Structure 1
Amino acid sequence: MAETHDVIVVGSGAAGLSAALRARELGLDVLVVEKAHKIGGTSATSGGVAWIPNNGLNGTTDTREETLEYLDAVIQGPVNRARLEAYVDTGAEMLKFMGDQGINFIPMPWPDYFAEMPGSRMDRSCVLPMYDARKLGDKFPLVRDQYPRFKLFNRYAMNLEETFAIAARSKGWKRKFAKVISRYWMDRSTRAFTKRDRNFVSGNALIGPILEKLIEKGVEIRTETALEELTFTDGKVSGATVSQFGTKYDIEARHGVVIAAGGFEWSQELRDRFYPVKTSIFWSSTPPGANTGGALIAAEKHGAATEHTEEGWWAPTMILPAPSSSNFQEVHQAIFDVGRPGAVCVNRNGDRFVNESCSYDRFGAGMVADQKKTGANTPCWMVFDKAFRDKFTAGGILPTAIMSDKSIPVDWWDHYVFKADTPGELAKKLNLDPAKLEDVVKRMNDYAAKGEDPEFGRGSTIYDQAFGDPTCKPNPALGPIKKAPFYAIPVYLGDLGTKGGLKADDKARVCDGEGKPIPGLWAAGNAAGSPFGLNYPGAGGTIGPAMVFGYIAANDIASRASNRAPGEAEPATAE
C-alpha cells in the first residue's frame, strides 16, 4: 500500500512551514518533505524579515490604498493584479493566524526600498524576536544554522538591531558587544550540549517557533527526501515520487501538493536559460546546492508555466577562501558594505554606474544594466580607504580591529583584496586607467564635502541614509576617500534566490501555459513567480509573499477538500 496524506508540502522554508501549519490547523493530514538534511531552507539563513504591508501591528496606520499606491509606483512590467491584491489583502490575516499560534511578529522602523516613491513607509518589514531553541527539544540541531557571517566571531548570535549597531559602531555598541558574548557563555547548560548558540535570531528565529508548533501538532518533516516526479491521476496531481538516500518511493496526496522548494539559483543550466547576463551559481549567497530547480522542472514536465524568471533577488557578494582550507571558497554578502560612506564602486572601465547606497536588489539591477551596456561589470570593483577599512566590513574583510592587514593571509592579497598607497597605484593592480580612478575618487571627495551626489543622488533618500554612518556629515551616505592606504575588492552579482518560478494565481494554484490552474498543484515562496514581478519593494519582500501564499494555498486546499470555505459552518442537514 502506498503511503497517503491529505497534503504533501515540498520544502521546509518559510513558505512550506506556513502552508503546513495552516493546513494542519484546518484539519488536514500534512507531510513535509525536505531534500536537505536540515530544516528551514534558505529562510533559515536569511534575515528572517517579512514585508507585510497594511499589517495592523502595534497600531500601524498603513492602508490598502497606500500600499497599492506604493506598489503601483514601484512595479515595472506586467504582473497578475489579482495575485498582487490577494497578497496585500491577506497579509494581516496571515499574521493574525500566526499570532493566534503564539508567533507574534514585530514591525521594524525600516524604510521601503524605494523610499522616494509615493506611498512608501517605514513599518512594513516585520520580524520575530529572539527565540529560545531549547523549546525544540532534540530538533534544535536539525534547524539549518545561520552563516558564520551573521554571527559575531563566527559563533555568537546577534539579532538585527545588535548586528547593525555593532557593524556601524553606533552609540552603545560596546555594551551590545559585551551582552552578546556574555549571553552565550552564561548559558552553561547549552554549552555542555553544543557549541551552537541556543538563541535563534533572524531566519532561525522565524523557522524555530513555526517548527515548534508543527511538532506540537504532530506534523512530520521528513529530511533527506527529494522530489523526483509529480504523480498525475485523471488529469490531477495525486502525489509525488520522492527519493531518500537513493531509494525512490511514491506518496499519495488526497487533496494536493504544495511546491515550496525554493528557486533555481544553484542550477547553472537554468541560470543560463533564463538570465539576460552571464552569472555563476558560485556567486549566490544561499545555501550551496540547495535550490536547484528540481521542483520547477518536475512541474514543467506536466505543462506548468513559469514567470518572472529573468532576475534574481540580487545581492552583491564577494568571495574569500574558506577558513579551514584555502582550496575552497566561501561567498560573503556585501549588501550594505557597498553603500557605506568612504567607498565607491566602479565597473571594469573605471566608471561609476549606480547609487551605491541604494537597496541591494537595485544595486544588482544596476550591475545587470551596466553589464548589458558596457560588458564591463559582473564583477565590478569596490574601492575604499583606510578610514573605511578601520570601521566597516567589506564583504568578508572585517574591520581592522578584528582583522588587521597583518592577519590577512598572504595568498589573499592581489587575488581577493587589493591594496596600494594611492588610487592610481591601486588602479594599476585592477587593470583600470589610473587617471580615471583618481578622478572618480576626487569627485567623490567633493561630493562628500558638499553632501550631494549630482551623478546618482547617493544619500538623497531615507533608505540611503538609514544604512549610512550618522557621524558622517553632512550626508551619512557620503564620506571622503582620502586616507592611505587604499583598498579594493571585486564585487559579484550575487543573489538571495530567484524572483521567478512557477506561474501561480491569486489562490497560489500553479497554472499552465494558457493560465489555467493545474488541479492539485500549488506553489509558494521562490518556487513561484514573485507577485511583484521583477521588483523588490522592501526588506522581507521574499519571505512576506512566501508566508502569505503558503497560507493562501492551505486555505484553498482545505476549501476544496471540504467544499466549503475555511471556518464556514457545516451545511445544515435536512430533518
Structure 2
Amino acid sequence: MESSVDPREPVEGLDRMGMTDWDHVTDFLVVGSGGGLVGALRAAALGRQALVVEKSEFIGGSTGMSGGVLWIPANPLLPRAGMADSAEQALAYLADVVGEPEAGSTLARRRAYVSSGCDMVEFLRREGVAFRHCDGYSDYYAGVRGVDGGMARGRSLECTAYDANRLGPWQRFLRPSAAGDLALFTAEVATIVLLRRSRRALATAVRVAARTAGGRLRRQKLVTNGASLIGQILEPLIERNVPVWTESAFEDLIVEDGQVTGALVHRRGRTLRVRARDGVLLAAGGFARNKEMREKFSRQPNDGTWTSANPGDTGDAVRAAMRHGAATATLDEAIWIPTVIMPDSRPALFNGERGKPGAIIVDAKGRRYFNESVAYMEAGRLMYRHHEETGAGVPSWLVIDSRHRSRYMFAGSMPGRTPEEWLLSGFLKRGETLEDLATACGLPSAELTATVARFNRFAAAGVDEDFQRGEGAHECYQGDFTHRPNPCLGPIDKPPFFAVPIYPGDVGTVGGMVCDERARVLDIDGHPIPGLYAAGNCTASVMGRTYPGAGASIGNSAVFSYIAANDSASQTSGGTHG
C-alpha cells in the first residue's frame, strides 16, 4: 500500500479566514507520533484536516519502542473471553489504587477515561486495527489487600501481529519491534522466559516460532508490540492522507489574543508557522532525557542517567506549555522500573528477576524493606520513599543464589550463563558465602545473613509475613508458576551467591500539564487555555501516581488524544461526532 502524501513534505496552505502569513494550515495539529496518532486519525475520521509532527526520524515515539499494550477497562474484547467488567467496577478499582482525586486524576477525568476508552477501541477496530486480549496479564493490584475491582485475567489489550509490508515505503519510519525478529506478544513474555521450567512455556515458544516462521514463509514482515500498534494506526492514517512530518521539531506555541492558534515547527533548517484552526494537541511525551529538568523536578538522586525512555523525550512540550501559563502537577513522578547499569554503562530494565523465587532486595544496611514482586512503578516509588526516610534505598541490592541463576533469565542473559565480564567488571558481585557477598557489596554481613535467614523461613512456609509477597495476582503472574507453594518465594541457600546494585530507573516521566476531562490544558487559575489540548506523559496522569495495569501509559495517551480530537471537532461549525 502506498500513499500519495509524502510524510517528509510540507503541503502549503492558506487560512480560510484569509491570513497568508502561515507556512502551513491544518485543522488539528498533533505534536508527537505515539498515542497522539489516535487523535489525528479520529480528527480525520470526523472530516477535519490533521497534521502530525515528530522530531525524530521514526514514527511512534516511546509507544513504538514499548510492548504496545493499552489498559482499557470494560473494553469490548472482554465479554468474548467470558469476562464481566463495568465502568463502576473499574472506577472502584481506580479509587482504591489511585486514591483521592487530585490534579490530573479528578473523578471527571477517571470517568472520561473509562467511558471513552471503550469507544476508542471500537473506533480503532472500525479503522482496521486488530486487538487481542492479554489474557492472564493481571491488573497490577488485583488480589492486593484493600483493593477491590481488580481483574486477575487483566483488562489489557495489544495488537495482533502485523505485516509491516502493508505500509509500503512508510515502513522505514517504524521503530524496530521490542521483540526483535520474533512475532512475540507482550502477554507471552512472562511465560516464555520459563522455557526450561514447564511444558506450558515450551508450548508458548513453539507457537511463537510457528507464527514467526509462518510469516517468513508468506514473505511477511511480521511485527508485534509497539511496532504493530503504531503500524496498524498508521495504515488508516495513510489511507486518509494525513501527513506525518518526521524530523520536524516542535519549538513553541503560537498564541493570539489568548488563544493557541498554531505552533512553530523547525523543519529542514527553517522554522515554520503552522496554523491549527481547531486546536493543537501536545502528545510529545515527558522530559526523561532532560538532565536539567530531572535535577529540578524529579525525586532525587536522579539526573536522567538511569532512564530507558525514547531519546527524544526531552520535555519540549512541557516547557512550552509552562511558558504559556499552563498549570502542572506530579512533575516528580515517572514510570519507575528497577534498573541495573550494565558494564558498558547502559541502563537495563530489571523487572522479572526480582519476583522469582530465590531473590530478595535489600537496602544499604542489608535489610528487606518492601515486597520485591510489586508492580514496577510501585517498586520505584518504594525505593525512593525508603531512601528519603533512611538514605539507604538508592541504590539497593538484588541478592540471589545459584539456583536462581541456573533457572531464570538475568539482565538479558539466559539461565546458567553468567558472562565473565560481569564478574570481572564488578557489575555482578559473587561470594561463596553470604558473608563473602556482603563484604563484596559493602553491606553489613550480620544484617544480610539475618535477613536471608528470616526470608528463608518464609520461603519454606510459602508465606511472606513481612510484606505479603506472592498474594497479588500480578505478583504470581511475574513469578514462577511451576514453583510451590508460593510462585514468588524460594530460599536463598545454594552457593555461590550473587548480587547486583539496582536503581529506580524509568521509561518516562508522567508529570506535566493539568488537563480536564475534555483533554483541555488548564492554566494556573484552573481555566482552559483555548485551542490547547494535551495527552500522555506530558500531562499529570489520570492514573495519579500509580500504574493500575499493563498499558496504563499508552492507554492514557491514546484515550485522551481521542477525546481531544472529538472535542476540538465539536467546537467548529464543520465538526460532527460520527
TM-score normalised to structure 1 length: 0.90
Q: Name the counterpart of 1:570.
A: none
Q: Counterpart of 1:118 in structure 2: which amino acid?
A: D
- Is the contact between residue 165 and residue 171 of structure 1 (CA under 8 Å) also seen in structure 2? no
Deviations 1:400-458 (A, max 9, x none): 2xxx23xx243653521111211111111100011211122222221111001111111
Q: Which residue of 1 aligns with 2:15?
A: none
Whole-Å separation in 2 of the counterparts to 1:411 and 1:94: 46
Q: Aligned residue for 1:572?
A: none
Q: State the partner residue of 1:261.
A: 284
Change in CA separation of 1:161 and 1:57 when aligned onto 2, cut-off 3 Å: closer
Instruction: Tell me if 1:89 matches 2:89.
Output: no
Q: What stretches of structure 2 of length at least 5 have no aligned partner?
A: 1-19
Query: Aligned partners of 2:414 and 2:455: how far apart in 1?
Result: 23
- Which residue of the partner structure matches residue 306 of structure 1? 328
Comparing 237-246 with 82-91, which one deviates more in the overlay?
Answer: 237-246
CA distance in 1 between counterparts of 2:341 and 2:413 reads 10
SS at match of 2:450: helix
Which of 71, 79, 87 is residue 64 of structure 1 equivalent to? 87
Is 1:389 paired with 2:412? Answer: no
Q: Deviations over 1:374-420 (max 9, x none)?
A: 111222111111111112122234322xxx23xx2436535211112
What is the aligned partner in structure 2 of residue 53 from structure 1?
73
**Partner Cα separation in structure 1 for residue 229 and residue 306 of structure 2:** 25
Seen in structure 2, the aligned counterparts of structure 1 residues 503 and 146 have a Cα distance that, compared at 3 Å, is: same
Distance in 1 of aligned mates of 2:190 and 2:242: 36
8 Å CA contact 2:292, 2:303 repeated in 1: no
Tell me, yes or no, if structure 1 residue 203 matches structure 2 residue 226. yes
Aligned residue in 2 for 1:430: 441
Match for 1:250 among 255, 273, 278? Answer: 273
Say whether 1:80 aligns with 2:106. yes
Maintained 8 Å contact 2:431/2:498: yes
User: What are the within-5 Å matches in structure 2 for residues 94-173 of structure 1?
Assistant: 94-108=120-134, 109-115=136-142, 116=144, 117-121=147-151, 122-147=153-178, 150-151=179-180, 155-169=181-195, 170-173=198-201
Cα deviation digits, residues 437-491 of structure 1 (max 9, x gap): 1122222221111001111111122221121112211111101112221111111
Question: Whole-Å Cα distance in 2 between the matches of residues 76 and 184 of structure 1?
Answer: 43
Contact 1:414 1:429 in 2 (8 A): no
Report the Cα offset of residue 74 of structure 1.
1.4
- RMSD over aligned Cα atoms: 2.0
- Aligned: 1:5 with 2:26: yes
TM superposition score normalised by structure 2: 0.90
Matched, 1:227 2:247: no
1:264 Cα offset (Å)? 1.0
Letter in 2 for 1:24: A
1:81/1:565 Cα in 2 relative to 1: closer, same or farther (>3 Å)?
A: farther
Whole-Å separation in 2 of the counterparts to 1:462 and 1:177 = 23
- Deviation of 1:510 after TM superposition, in Å, equals 0.7
1:418 matched to which residue of 2? 429
2:465 maps to 1:465: no
User: What one-letter code is carried by the residue in structure 1 that aligns with 2:65?
Assistant: T
Identify which of 272, 276, 284 aligns with 2:295.
Answer: 272
The whole-number CA distance in structure 2 between the counterparts of 1:275 and 1:157 is 36
* 1:437-452 map, 5 Å: 437-452=448-463
Distance 1:174 1:36, change over 3 A: same
1:172 Cα deviation from its structure 2 partner: 3.9
Matches within 5 A, 1:347-386: 347-386=363-402
Residue correspondences, number? 544
Verify the 8 A CA contact 2:69 2:186 in the aligned structure 1. no
Residue in 2 that maps onto 1:292: 314
Please show how residues 478-489 of structure 1 align to structure 2 within 5 Å. 478-489=489-500
Could you say if the C-alpha distance between residues 120 and 135 of structure 1 is closer, same or farther in structure 2, counting changes exceeding 3 Å? same
- Asked if the contact 1:308–1:501 (Cα under 8 Å) also holds between the matched residues in 2, the reply is yes
What amino acid is aligned across from residue 232 of structure 1 in structure 2? Answer: V
Per-residue deviation at 1:330? 2.2
Written as runs of structure 1 = structure 2, the 5 A alignment for 1:176-215 is: 176-177=204-205, 180-181=208-209, 184=212, 198-215=221-238
**8 A Cα contact 1:413 1:419, kept in partner:** no
What is the percentage of aligned positions where both structures have the same residue?
40
> For 1:477, which of 470, 473, 488 is the aligned residue?
488
Alpha-carbon distance in structure 1 between the residues aligned to 2:465 and 2:156? 30
Could you tell me which residue of structure 1 aligns to residue 8 of structure 2? none
Q: CA deviation at 1:297?
A: 0.7
